[in-house]
Each structure stands twice: as C-alpha cells, then as structure tokens.
Amino acid sequence: MPQLDITRLNAAVDRLLDVTENPRHRFMLMAYARHRALEVAGRYEEIFAPDMMSPKAVYHMHALGNDVVLTGHKQIKGLYRMWAETHQSIFYIESEEVSISDHYITSVTTGYQQVSGKSLRANKLLAGLPKFVSRRLLERVLDQKTHHADESDMYLYKTVGTQMIWPYDDRARLVGEDVYEPLAHLATLTKLEPKDVMTTARARALLDPLIRPLPSFDAMVLRSEELLAA
C-alpha cells in the first residue's frame, strides 16, 4: 500500500496559482481546485452551482475500462452520487502537470482512484455488450437513488499519464470533462484491506478545511477587464 495523502490533491494547481496573475486564469484554477476537492469529499451537489458548471455540460470518459458520454447535470450527478456513496470518489495524486488557457485547463496525471470490485466487474461486462444495451444499463445505474458501499471489495487503481481537458465557457463555468487513459496497459490494481479503505466521510473531514468558496466572477474577472480597458 503506497503512502498517499489526500490533502495533496491540488498541489500542482496550487503551484500554478502561485505564479498566475491573469484574473480569469486565477478564477478558473480556483474553480478547478474547488471542484476536485468537492468531488473527492463527496460534496458533489455543490459542484453544480450556477457559477461553477454550465447546465449543458458533457463528460467524455475513456478510462478505467469505460467509454462513456454523460450529458447534462442529471447523468453527471448520478455518477458523482454513486462514487460518493461507494467510496469511489477517492482520488490521490502522485504527480501532475497542469496548464491553463482562456477556455481550457489541461492536466497529465499519475494517480490513484479507489474503485469497487463491483464496478470493475460491471465495466468489464458493459464493454462486451452492444453500445445501446450498455448505455441503457449504465443509465439505470446512474438513476439509482442510493448505492451501498462494501469496504471488503475495494481496490486501488493506479493510472499513468491520464490526460484531462476541462473546457470552460466565457463566465468560467465548466463545460465538461474529457478524460483519457492512453497508457492503460501500465495501470495496476491493488486489493485493499478494509482498514485501508478511505471512506468518503473521512475524506470530507480531511478536505473540508481546505475547500474555499469562489470569489465573485464579476468582481474578480469582469471588473479587472474593465479597469484594463479604461
């Protein structure tokens, strides 16, 4: 079991913030870090705040054996709810490089996700089914109101060089996530003892002190642009 520190989740983002002066870029990085911490802490409802995510967000996920497109808040929220309730919202970062432009944040990461054996088996099953069948089964899972954790059936999935592109709209709201695992053959899977499973509740206790509210976009970004234009 590697020694992992969940409070280092946004270390690379913090390093980039330290050298970023552009107000729009700073706002986007703050939103990016907040989103990730809220997700891992199981506070997923707050991710869908009007100043953080576009109502038309679309996720493209090609990782962990998945090839999935999630459209709109309902489907995306269903994924986050399932992860939070089954301790699969837990991510650790081993190394990461982050870059930013006016409408995109990109990341290349080596890290870990806590995953359930049930999800791993389901992913393998869905991958072998026709697309329309696997899609319908996935939607049924995401529509479930509750999910049950099994701490005796948890794994640590290590990914190497995972690539993420997060697009943002003109008001720096998240438009979606594009997640790719190009080096899936280098991934490793480690069975966790129940005592080593990080629960979502424990992650929240550790991350809550680090989660800060977003500043006003108008005050931070638009006001700065007006002053520069004056």
Q: What is the tens place of the pLDDT at every residue in 160-206?
A: 999 999 999 999 999 999 999 999 999 999 999 999 999 999 999 99
For residue 195, CA distances in Å to 96, 191, 192, 198 come to: 27, 12, 8, 8
What are the tokens at 171? 């008001």
Domains (range + CATH), the chain: 6-229 (3.10.450.50)
Residue 27 amino acid letter:
F
Answer with the residue of higher pLDDT: 128 or 49. Answer: 49
Q: Is the full-model pTM beyond 0.85?
A: yes
Kindly report, residue by residue over 32-59, the tens digit of the pLDDT: 999 999 999 999 999 999 999 999 999 9
For 60-119, the DSSP string reads EEE-TT--EEEEHHHHHHHHHHHHHHTT---EEEEEEEEEE-SSEEEEEEEEEEEEEHHH
Give 50: exposed, middle or buried? Use CB within 10 Å, 0-12, 13-18, 19+. exposed
Helix pair angle (23-40, 200-207), 10° resolution: 140
Mean predicted confidence (pLDDT) in 198-224: 94
pLDDT at res. 65: 75
Answer with the residue of higher pLDDT: 119 or 32. Answer: 32
Phi, psi of 187 (to 5 degrees): -70, 150
The CA distance from 115 to 190, in Å, is: 10
Kindly report, residue by residue over 146-159, the tens digit of the pLDDT: 888 999 999 999 99
pLDDT at res. 128: 67
What are the tokens at 176? 């979606």
pLDDT at res. 175: 98
Mean pLDDT of the chain: 92
